[in-house]
Every structure is written in structure tokens, then in C-alpha cells.
Amino acid sequence: MTDQPWLGDVCSLVDAFRARTISPSEALDASLAAINASELNAFSHLDTDAARVTAASADVSLPFGGVPMGIKELETVNRWPYTEASLVFKDRVADHDTIQVTRLRAAGAVLAGQTTASEFGGINCTTTKLHGTTHNPWNLERTPGGSSGGTAAAAAGGLLPIASGGDGGGSIRIPAGFTGMFGLKSTFGRIPKGPQALQPPLTVVVGCVSRSVRDTARWFDVCNGFDPRDTLSLPRVEGWEAGLDTFELAGKRAVISIDLGSAIVEPRCAALVLDLAETLIAGAGLTRVDVVVELPQGGLEWAMSNLIGLAGTLGDRYPACNDDLTPEIQLGMNLATHNLNVQTAGATEMFRIDVNERMADIFEHTDFIFAAANPDVAFDATGPMPTTVGDIDLIKEYGFNKAIGNNGALTIPANLTGNPAVSIPAGLVDGLPVALQVIGRHHEEQLLLDLARIAERERPWPLVAPTAPA
């Protein structure tokens, strides 16, 4: 019996279920109690009754049998609210599960509730007019990032061991980095997004934020594989968890580019990232190569391409719904309405070609790119998006566009090109987590997981923040 939520990883919880040292119902009730007592505001909806029914009959022989988990509120769960964190859709209810949710249910997951996100996944700060502000468990005055902010806060805050996420511009890696969790942005299409999959702008993948590498591997064992409702989804790959620690890394090439040639990174954060990168290169027996990495920032082009889908979602509700939108989404829709035309759309596509070509050129000479996951530690929980890094006023030094774009400059490139990338905890600055990002070749996520396993063994990270329930 326990009255505290599980503070280990998912795999150890399933082992405990099978050993009968804790039951799924006990684990769920402890998580629900912690969620209800929490100040993090990591959940926008709880499905308590249905979750208890599922937990009571859980088959613990399944990969996620009995595991309480959250689903990000940008993902549909049948009969749950489907607000996309926006007042515009505050009364909308989903009428189907996503393919990912369907596969998680089949693997025995207990869907406890819906984790908070930024409105339409638009920014890397989780504060909305609909749900208020989500807080970072390492420091309640700081953001857990976004858009998967509630997911990261829930896992790091000890509320439950894992939850789903999505990454269209860094929305798994950024919050994982800000909260000391592990996050994999897979190759584009690895897990289907359907039904009703929005294909453009070809940047968004789904997955999870977890406490351990093996938990993420198990997630991809369960969720990956083609489905005809997402015509760009990839064929199934077997053996993610069983294959951990089996891939030959020695002799593969790695380049360290903390800033990817365009971001401004806080020096103390950069030092931690560099130290872990060098540790992993040595530990894996990689060959460090000297390759020029200059990936353009691309924040405006990324935003414009994403706003096409948002305009479709809002439909004829816009511009009448403008006052219901958060300021960042208001600004984005205003920019798109007045500036998105054939010329700008064409320029955006030419930009994407340029980024793809540059990334491909880099990977002709290396197998991994080591970089920072975030320019700095987590900023104020309520925002706005920072325009400073350390003591540097980016607006004064570089101008407004560079200042705003710096927030996603490290993560957006891998979304535009579809490359897989991981966020690995690298240490603390001012008591807040810092993360290393490793970008890999298309379809080689399992190599990234094995690199992360080396970090997990040689530099083990806390599975939860110090403020998690004890």
C-alpha cells in the first residue's frame, strides 16, 4: 500500500505491478491525490471514474499495463475536452481517439487525465486564457516550457511517470530540457498522427516526455508504425526497448555546435552542454569532426507555415474570436492575415529547401550534431517569451526578430528537416535544468537512445524534481 505517487520510471512501476508490491489502483489513486494537491496546474481535465475502472482490471503483463499516464490536451481522446488550450473551443468534446491513444490503451495504459499545453501549441510557454499558468516543479516561478508543458511538469513533478507530447518546433525537447526530463523528437512520421491528420507543415511529430530512456523506448515499441489515416507515417520498427545498448556507436562521427550557427546561448548553459557532449563522445568512442554548422534561424518561416493550419482550424470564427486568443496567437494570426500570400508562401518553401540542403550537407560529414536544447534556463512562468540571454539584450544587439526567434532557434531546424533529436539532462544552472540536444540522421532514433543511455549511466539525472511528493 502507498499514499505517494510512483517516483521511479514506468518500467520499474510495471515490474512492481507484476511483483504485486503495488497495484494499478493504488498507483492511480496516489497520482490522482498528488495531482489534486499540486500547485503545478499541470492538468486541464481528469477522467477519474473511467481511469479507476481501467486500473481495477488492468492486465499488468502488457507493456503499460496499469500505468497511470497523461495525454497532452492538443491530442484527441474520445469524450474528453478537445479545446486545444483555447477559449475558442472551450466547449468542444472529442469524438475519437488518436492512433497513438488507441495503441496506448491496447498496451494497458490507464489514461488519468489531460495535461496542459500552450494554445494550439504556438509557443514554448504554457500559460493560456483558458487554463491559466503551468509551473515548473524545479521553481514554481518558472515555466516548464511548451507546448508540452503540462506533460513535462507532471512527470518531473512526481504526479505520474509519463505523458504524451508533441513536437512541431521543439515542444517535446524544450520542456524536457527545462524540467530535467528525457525527450525524443522522432523522425517525421514515426508515430501516426491520425485520424484526421493535419499533414502540413510537415514538422509535427508525437511522442512522450519521460523519466528514463527505456520508458521512451517502450513508448515507441507500442506506438510506432504505419496507419493509413496518416499517409506520411512510417513502417513499423520492432525492438526499441530490447535493442537498447546493442548498437555500435564506436567510430561514428560527431560535431559539437552548441549554437547551431545561429542561436545565442547562455555561457554557463553552453559549458554544461559542452561538458556532457565531450563525455558522450569519449564514452561512445565517437570520432569528433570539425564541420561548419550554420543552420538559419527560421522562426518566421516556421510560424507562417504553421499558421496556415491554424487558420483552417479557426475557420470563419476568425477574426471575431480574436479577443479569445492569447497575445502570441493574436499576433501570429494578424501577421499571417496581412502578410501571407503567394510570395511569402513561396519564400517559405524556398527557405525549407535551403534548410534541408544545409542539414543534408552537414550529415555527409557527421553522424550526430551535439547542441544545446535551449538558449537558457527556464524563464518566467507567465512569459512573455524572453528577449534576453544572461546579460545580453538581444533586441539591442541583434533586433526584434532575432531576439524572439532565439527561443526556438535550436530546435526548429530538426522539425523543418524531419531529423530525429533527443534532449538529455546535462546539469543545473541556478538550480534549474539544462539539456544537451543531439540531432541524428533520419530513421536512426535508436542510435540516439543508445547515446542517451551512456549519459544515463555516467551522469544519472534525478527522475523527479526535488519538490516532488516524498
With respect to residue 309, please indicate whether it lies within any of the assigned structural domains.
Answer: no
Q: Which residue has the cell 475557420?
A: 315
Cβ-contact 218, 15 below 8 angstroms: no
In a domain, 2, yes or no: no
Report whether 439 contacts 421 (CB < 8 A): yes
Count the domains in the chain. Answer: 1
SS3 210: strand
CB distance 38 to 157 below 8 Å: yes
Give CA angle at 320 (317, 309), nearest 5°: 40
Q: Is 280 a member of any domain? A: yes
Cα–Cα distance measured from residue 285 to residue 268, given in angstroms and rounded to the nearest whole number: 26
Torsions phi, psi for 221 (to 5 deg): -55, -40
Whether 178 and 266 have beta carbons less than 8 Å apart is answered as no
Q: Any bridge partners for residue 432, and if so which?
A: 429
Instruction: Give φ, ψ of 435 to 5 degrees.
Output: -135, 145
pTM: 0.97
Give, for all 470 residues of the chain, the pLDDT tens digit. Answer: 568 999 999 999 999 999 999 999 999 999 999 999 999 999 999 999 999 999 999 999 999 999 999 999 999 999 999 999 999 999 999 999 999 999 999 999 999 999 999 999 999 999 999 999 999 999 999 999 999 999 999 999 999 999 999 999 999 999 999 999 999 999 999 999 999 998 888 999 999 999 999 999 999 999 999 999 999 999 999 999 999 999 999 999 999 999 999 999 999 999 999 999 999 999 999 999 999 999 988 777 888 888 888 999 999 999 999 999 999 999 999 988 988 888 888 988 899 999 999 999 999 999 999 999 999 999 999 999 999 998 899 999 999 889 999 999 999 999 999 999 999 999 999 999 999 999 999 999 999 999 999 999 999 999 999 999 87
Residue 39, judged by CB atoms within 10 A of its CB (0-12, 13-18, 19+), counts as exposed
Question: What does the pLDDT look like over 392-428, one tens digit per residue?
Answer: 999 999 998 899 999 999 999 999 999 999 999 999 9
In a domain? residue 310: no
Q: Is 31 within a domain?
A: yes
- The answer to the question of residue 326 being in a domain is no
The answer to whether residue 470 is domain-embedded is no
Q: Which SS3 state, helix, strand or coil, does residue 416 take?
A: helix
Residue 244 sits in a domain whose CATH number is 3.90.1300.10
Domain of residue 183 covers 10-297+344-458
Q: Tell me what pLDDT residue 138 has.
A: 98
- Residue 147 is assigned to a structural domain of this protein: yes
**Residue 139, C-beta contacts closer than 8 angstroms, at least 6 positions apart:** 378, 431, 432
